[in-house]
Amino acid sequence: MGPLLSFLASIGAVFLNGLAASGRMAIFTIRAISHCVRPPIYPRLILRQMIDIGYYSLPVVGLTALFTGMVLALQTFTGFASFAAESAVPTVVVLSVTRELGPVIAGLMVAGRIGAAIAAELGTMRVTDQIDALTTLSTNPYKYLVVPRVLAGTITLPALVLVADIIGVFGGFLVSSYRLRFNPAAYIQRTADFIQTNDVMAGLVKAAFFGFVVALMGCYFGYHSRGGAQGVGAATTYAVVSASILILLLDYVLTALLFVGR
Amino acid sequence: MNRETAPGTPKISVRGLKKSFGHKLVLDGIDLDIGVGESVVVIGGSGSGKSVLAKCILGLLPADAGSIKIDGEEMVGRSTSERERVMRKFGMLFQGAALFDSLPVWENVGFGLIQGHGVARREAKKVAIEKLASVGLGPEVGELRPAELSGGMQKRVALARAICAEPEIIIFDEPTTGLDPIMGDVINDLIIACVRQLGATAMSITHDMASARKIADRIAMIYKGRIIWSGPTPEIDRSGNPYVEQFIHGRAEGPIQMEVRAS
């Protein structure tokens, strides 16, 4: 085989591998969704995952949202002061946090915390034959491992984002009131005037998609991990990186669908 | 047990089973019958395809070609739900025990009853404690996590889990690997006792000849993806097969080693 042909062959192999990986991921997604709507469902496991994903992520998501709101108020103030438009700070903070920053920041933090944990747990179960053991004990691993995590991620992330929205707006309020000398009552009034139910709801819809993606990526890469500790480490990295990229990609698609042309 | 099948039908019948991973052919036309209540041990070197054979029989790996019949019922090419129904006949002891880290020991043992057979947790716990007792572990062990147990205790818990739902067929993958000789013998005795008590059909995979001689009614040797010898346990010492003789005596020199060097 000539050098040109082998170069083209290697490009073709990469392309085919990419297609095969996309196909595997699509089949995994369809299987996961189909098992979500077919019994048996394990409520006890879903609840446990909701506590893991939601309750235990509260501190990290809350802190991130608080500082994001605070920084946003500071940056908006310094930028808008050039146009004597400082009064727009409450509006910018509430719209940015509810529409965009709350869902994305919470999604990325949960991808790091939960996506990695799911991939590591399922990956370890795979390489130690625990997933095969489930099958031999008449238990479908999709139903027992994947469905509770995917459902819990989809249900829980909107609740987390709601909390992140409140804390993020509160962070902006704190900085504006105590550092930027805004009148607290006027700030709250302006926030209330500009907050829209649709904005909050759209943010929560985004969050549901992000929660689904984070849990799904963790499950997919963990479930298919190979090769001992190194394989589990690689699965964890792939899960976090792909969930983060998909969150940003989905964010654009959902923003275009939910906000543009409204 | 096996009421619906014709008399004389093997419990497990494997014909022409092939399995490859990429270009590597691991099983190259396996033929093996295991009768009802029989205990067959498959011996062979590392990488000879023993574990792959067990995983194909269990449906954990899809066969590329050939036939696997359980009680005369073809398994190759069947849907997941049909395989799940037949899987209820199986119990499996994994090489590394494969206990669920997140669950206490008793729940590991009773897992198949709770999830697979819909038994209430309280009832399953009672059965699990009984099964733990049958492998020589007290009820206090039931409350521990698998990570708190020694390797021998983990194997015993895994054995209790494999027999808990009283399966018709039990597959043991390297049951004594990684254990000291005394604990290995304890596990062998427990396997014999459990299989006899249940009247189950057993297929074991091992390269531990002491274990194979003790638990097998019949021994089959796998080499390069094929069964090269099969016969009653006492006959293995006069098999006349150079591969078998080299393996059972653990000699470095012989046809197996020469071919390893050649490749």
- Domain ranges for chain A, please list them: 41-258
CA neighbours closer than 13 Å in the CB half-sphere of residue B143: 3
Exposed / middle / buried, residue B12 (Cβ in 10 Å: 0-12, 13-18, 19+): buried
pLDDT digits (tens, 9 = 90+) for A203-212: 899 999 999 9
Q: Tell me, what's the pLDDT at B152? A: 83
Distance CA B26, CA B260 (A): 15
pLDDT digits (tens, 9 = 90+) for B20-77: 998 888 889 889 898 888 889 999 888 788 889 999 998 888 889 999 998 888 888 8
How far is residue B173 CA from its own chain's centroid?
4
Structure tokens that stand for B230 in this block: 């099969």
Distance CA A147, CA B236 (A): 49
Q: Hey, are the CB atoms on B87 and A136 less than 8 Å from each other?
A: yes
Place of tokens 């090419």: B77
How far is residue A167 CA from its own chain's centroid?
18
3-state secondary structure of A200: helix
Residues of chain B above pLDDT 90, percent: 20
Which positions in chain A touch B81 (Cβ < 8 Å)? none
Strands B12-21 and B24-34: antiparallel
**CA distances to A226, B84, B123 from B117, in Å:** 31, 12, 12
Query: Does residue B263 have a pLDDT over 50?
Result: no
The per-residue DSSP string of A95-123 comes to HHIIIIIHHHHHHHHHIIIIIHHHHHHHH
Structure tokens that stand for A215 in this block: 């849990």
Give me chain A's average pLDDT, please: 90
Q: Tell me, what's the pLDDT at A1? A: 62
CA-CA-CA-CA torsion for A164, A165, A166, A169, nearest 10 degrees? 120
Q: Tell me, what's the pLDDT at A88? A: 82
By C-alpha distance, the chain A residue nearest B61 is A132
Q: Name every residue in B having a CB less than 8 A away from some CB of A.
A: 55, 58-60, 80, 84, 87-88, 90-92, 94-96, 98-101, 111-112, 115-117, 161, 165
Q: Tell me, what's the pLDDT at B1? A: 41
Query: Does residue B151 have a pLDDT over 80?
Result: yes
- Answer whether 0.90 is exceeded by the pTM: no
CA-CA-CA-CA torsion for A6, A8, A11, A15, nearest 10 degrees? -120
Q: Tell me, what's the pLDDT at A68? A: 93
In this complex, the residue of A129, A137, A140 whose CB is nearest that of residue B112 is: A137
Q: Tell me, what's the pLDDT at A235? A: 93
Structure tokens that stand for A142 in this block: 């999709």
Query: Does residue A157 have a pLDDT over 90?
Result: yes
In this complex, the residue of A133, A139, A144 whose CB is nearest that of residue B98 is: A133
